[in-house]
Amino acid sequence: MNIVIPYNASFESVGLMAAFESLDEVSALGWVESQKPVFDVFDETRPDIVVLTRKHLKPTVEKLIKQYNSKVIMIDGFDCEYEKIDLTKLESATNIVQYRNGEKEDRYISDCLYLSMDEWDTLGNEHVPECLSCLIYPNSKLKLKIFGKYKFPFAEYLGNISQKGINNALSSTKIVLVFNKKILPTLAYNKCFCLVHESIGNTEYPSFSKDNIRSSINDWLHDSKTKKAIINTQYEASLKNTYLDIAKDIFIKLGYEDKAELCIKKKQELVS
């Protein structure tokens, strides 16, 4: 079964693709509109399912959907004839396929970690450089590490790492700094303790601002009891809505009960 998903390197498109890809006999293909014409995508993949957003739903695409008899699922609901999935649910899902089985490694040990993985989060969010610059040497003696594809002009930025490297870095740090709500459930699944920026709004994790970031980190570095309680509560919550659950919902809505069953089995296998 071929599934085409518009790919924009966002956390949710990567998570959904990984969930589909983890299933046997399912092949998920990321489509970058600016790089590949829609005709070629349909001609080469003959998709059984196409996941679309509002901006992708053009007359040409609709014609191709009919021509290739593909089933459609829309990820930002508006009035149309196709089945929809809830965008809020998608954005708050847990990626248990890629982010798992991290091991503590000496090379990744740090007091706090920031992952610059999301383009908007890193390049469009002014709070990120503002807060991180409070933690760089010599402003702070804290051991900060920054990994990811989006560069920061700090000595603490150490380049891009593999998925296994990310998982190990998450297991080797004491605090993960978060500026984007979408990644929180996945970090919770990895039993990370997160400090979230106040701009995110209310979460179950403690928050920080530019003014109190250093004192917040110092306080939380030494409060392991409360940290543990938060980590355990959030871990349980993170299992309720994963990208495999969303894949399951999509299959059920489109009438692929057998594939939905595969999603349930895969989730059980990964979580156990």
> In this complex, which beta carbon is closest to another protein, that of residue 12 or of residue 111?
111
Separation CA 189–CA 195 (nearest Å): 15
**171 is a site residue for another protein (CB under 8 A):** no
Q: How far is CA 202 from the centre of its chain?
A: 19
Q: How far is the CB of 162 from another protein (least distance, A)?
A: 7
Out of 70, 85, 122, 145, name the contact with another protein by CB under 8 A.
Answer: 145
**221 is a site residue for another protein (CB under 8 A):** no
Q: How far is the CB of 165 from another protein (least distance, A)?
A: 7
Nearest to 87 by CA among 22, 13, 188, 3: 13
**149 is a site residue for another protein (CB under 8 A):** yes
Separation CA 272–CA 213 (nearest Å): 36
Show the binding pattern over residues 86-115: x = contacts another protein (CB under 8 A), - = does not: --------------------xxxx------
Out of 60, 101, 160, 209, name the contact with another protein by CB under 8 A.
Answer: 160
Number of other residues whose CB lies within 10 A of the CB of residue 165: 17
List Cβ neighbours of 255 (8 Å cut-off, separation of 6 or more).
Answer: 71
Nearest to 248 by CA among 234, 262, 230: 262
Residues that bind another protein (CB under 8 A): 106-109, 137-138, 143, 145, 147, 149, 151, 153-162, 165
